[in-house]
Amino acid sequence: MALHEDIKASLKEAMKAKEEVKLRVIRSLLTAFMNELVATKRTPQDTLTDEEVLAVIKRQAKQRKDSIAQYESAGREDLVQAEQEELAVLETYLPQLMSQEEIRPIAQAKQEALGITDKSKMGVLIGAIMKELSGKANGADVKEVVESLLS
- Note the pLDDT tens digit of each residue in 112-139: 888 888 888 888 888 888 888 877 888 8
Q: Taking a C-beta distance cutoff of 8 angstroms, is the pair 146, 122 a contact?
A: yes
Round to whole Å and give the CA distance between 74 and 13.
35
CATH of residue 128's domain is 1.10.10.410
Task: Specify the pLDDT at position 1.
Answer: 54
**Where a domain ends, among 91, 119, 141?**
91
At 75, which helix (H) or strand (E)? none
- The pLDDT tens digits of the residues spanning 77-112 come to 999 999 999 999 999 988 888 888 888 888 888 888
Number of domains in the chain: 2
Q: How confident is the model at residue 67 (pLDDT cuts 50, 70, 90)?
A: very high
Q: How confident is the model at residue 74 (pLDDT cuts 50, 70, 90)?
A: very high
The angle, 0 to 180 degrees and rounded to 10, between the axes of the packed helices 20-39 and 77-91 is 70
CATH of residue 19's domain is 1.10.1510.10
Owning domain of residue 80:
3-91
Q: Is the pLDDT of residue 76 over 70?
A: yes
* Model-wide pTM > 0.95: no
